[in-house]
Structure 1
Amino acid sequence: MTATGADQETAGGTTRGYWWWERRRGVALDVGLGLLSALECALEGVSFAGDTGLPVPVGVLFGLLAGSVLVLRRRWPIAVVLVAIATTPAGMGFLMGLVGLYTLAASDVPRRITAVLTGMSFAGTFIVTYVRLRQSVAEQDDFGPGDWYVPLISLFMSLGLTAPPVLFGLYIGARRRLMESLRERADSLERELSLLADRAEERAEWARTEERHRIAREMHDVVAHRVSLMVVHAAALQAVAPKDPAKAVRNAALVGDMGRQALTELREMLGVLRTGESVTARPAQVPLASVGQAAAAAAAAATEDGPRLHEVETLVGESRAAGMTVELSVDGEAPAYPPEVEQTAYRVVQEALTNVHKHAAGAKTWVRLAHREAEVAMQVENGPSDSATADAGLPSGGNGLVGMRERVLGLGGVFVSGPTDAGGFRVSAVLPAQGKAA
């Protein structure tokens, strides 16, 4: 990060910064290195002034200015290395060269530029060392090494002043980039985990909603149909009791049987719910994804234990026993349907007959089933209500048709309902033979 003022804000809060430094530690380090480099170059400037004939204060001032450039190493590492190369013939800037090459190699400067500047620094150091060492050897009459001595020592000096800082800078730069990449990856994974947790919570909420809707539909199918028949029989019992005690006894027995059947179905449903309630309640130690699995398992268990399509005849018989005129026709042979298809078909017929009891008392009703190659179709149609038949006064919540439509569409079927031209009402549904997966 590069700052242009005295204060800058970071992700963790507000920190004190100066220009291009992110931390005070960086300011102290670079200023300290700049002072050391300026002091070194100033001392070496004395010798430089003596060799060139310049006044000593000029050499010292030149050394101070050249060495202080090291303060800019983080912002302009290329400029620092160039100044270090330029001052190499003057015999100064060794600390600046070492630190400058390290900073250049560790920075994000393109590698081609780093290689070129490293080569220039190596060549400059080699030439200056070679020339000075050759002059020193020539001045010593009692020291006569071979021709290999000067170039070999110059090579070692050049490598020692360029290779270690560059290699160490490359290592530090690679390590820093790796750590930044790991931090970015960790932040990305944290965001992904947060998104996954949100989606898991949404799926869990969806599963709970679907389970509530399923329970509501099952309760409606069981209670509405059975209780409707019980109310119809109770009304008939009240009407015939004074005139025909034997028929009243039969009606009372039918009411008792239907009540027991309703209780049996409710107990089965509650048993399924209790089986999965420990997971559906979602305690803290249970993963969110298991909620949807528990809901699906409870729904599957309820489907396995639900009614079957062949029980439609019994359903029609119960309506006939309640005084309704019902005709049942079945086309084709029933293959082995999945449990959810049979249960949905049964519930559609059941709810349609319940609606006839509620809204069209005394109306003649036709129930038709058709088993086809890839689908099963059902239709329940009633004629106009018999005005001579007393209304049982059954309440209606208006959710019967909605529940039937949800069931059929949930399996990928087609559902149509509406009044007929004759003044009655028709409910039609077509389900795929293999359910939604087909």
Structure 2
Amino acid sequence: MDFSYSQKTIELQKKLTAFMKEFVYPNEKNYEEQVNAVTDRWAKVPEIIEQLKEKAREQGLWNLFLPESEYGAGLTNQEYAPLCEIMGRSPIGPEVFNCSAPDTGNMEVLVRYGTESQKKQWLEPLLDGKIRSCFAMTEPEVASSDATNIQSSIIRDGDEYVLNGRKWWTSGAGDPRCKIAIFMGKNDPDAPRYEQQSMILVPLDTPGVKIERVLSVFGYDHAPHGHAEITFDNVRVPVKNILWGEGKGFAIAQGRLGPGRIHHCMRLIGAAERALEQMCVRVQERTAFGKSLAEQGVVKEWIAESRIDIEQARLLTLKAAYMMDTVGNKEAKTEIAMIKVVAPNMALRVIDRSIQAFGGAGVSGDFTLAAQWASSRTLRLADGPDEVHRNQIARLELAKYAAQGKGK
């Protein structure tokens, strides 16, 4: 396996790094101030984010995430990995380049499974950054780590489908720019287990769609983006809004979550890398007990362990990306599952060490560490909890030796 970066990636790395230094990092505080400057934090998008998006687009740093697609930059997953890592260094970074979740996953779904009409109506404005989207899958009443548990319904009635159910952790639904949801529900409870579910496009202004509340994550509400709990009460949408076809929801979910998981891992590596960088600078500036923090043995251990952790996670992520590019997402499922366990836990360890080195400042809002830690912790749950991925890894590993065991 060759993990060296292509010339195209190297050039984009340089451009992205320069853009982040000149425009993104200096405006992180500005973004927060603009969010909090208005009475209704859910009604207005900070002007700075739209200004940064326009600058990124002008520089060709736009929609870099779609591999092998006429809509994206034509990068492979392996080529995109180090770029996504750079974006992940800032909480606002991915959105600036139109490469943030859940829009990336939803755009991939539309590219793969959408009709030409669906692409025209929803994919194109998403690619242009004119609207945003959300993904309504998780439900409060069932263990949604098993997607076959989902109870929301999609029932055909003539030329329409009628939707009923309650969803939560529908990230992005609070955003005033969010215009479309991908809704997952059961259309046939009697079908084979993995063919009971479907996915359908639901405009958020459809009668019967109601945002009940926006949930916080460790106290962060992430306005104006947010994570909503939504009820769908006899929501009617045209049959043409179905994605791929009835009974294809689970298959679409698996196809969507593969790239989504690896993108999360790439961004987590960037967050960890920045945390280590911040720690190394901080400990050389601070003195305690007669010498700099950098001279303390335990701090040196933190730094060394953090570098080791990051490099291991990066290599495993690159391997997963390489396999997705060469043998496909299905064959790379073990590697994808492994990085989904490794990357969030790695980021939590590295960011936690940096917080400890910063002392009280580390848990404040003066730096990005606390917010990045909270975000990283959610990713031990999002797109499947650690335990589900570990179970899959173990099953796949055991399968290799099943025949040997029977022969003894």
Question: Normalized against structure 2, the TM-score is what?
Answer: 0.26
Higher gyration radius (CA): 1
Q: Which has the higher contact order (CA 8 A, sep 6+)?
A: 2
